[in-house]
Amino acid sequence: MKTTVTATGLNLIDADAERSAAGSYKARQANISILMAALIDGLDAHAARAAARPFDYGFSGDLYNVQRRLEEMVASLAGGEA
């Protein structure tokens, strides 16, 4: 299994290097799990920064953008369009 370090410092599996569709799928599933864990960590850190500046609506705007992207991803996996 070949891995690569992303621009964000995450170590992900090179799914394109897998020899089968099933292997590529499993690699991408694992990568998504890693990315989701990093997203939750980032959300926790973001919440701490937002708590320190409770009148700054910029943090809410950040989450709006993340929420929209997540809604698109959920729709993509459900077979629909966002």
Instruction: Map out the domains of the chain as residue ranges.
Output: 3-77
At residue 29, the pLDDT reads 97
Q: Return the pLDDT at 58.
A: 98
Q: Tens-of-pLDDT digits for all 82 residues of the chain?
A: 899 999 999 999 999 999 999 999 999 999 999 999 999 999 999 999 999 999 999 999 999 999 999 999 999 999 855 5
Output the pLDDT for position 79: 83
From 6, 10, 8, 12, select the one nearest 28 (Cα to Cα): 12
Specify the pLDDT at position 81: 58
Query: Rounded to an integer, what distance in angstroms lies between the CA atom of residue 45 and that of residue 59?
Result: 11
> Could you give the CA distance from residue 14 to residue 62 in angstroms, rounded to a whole number?
29
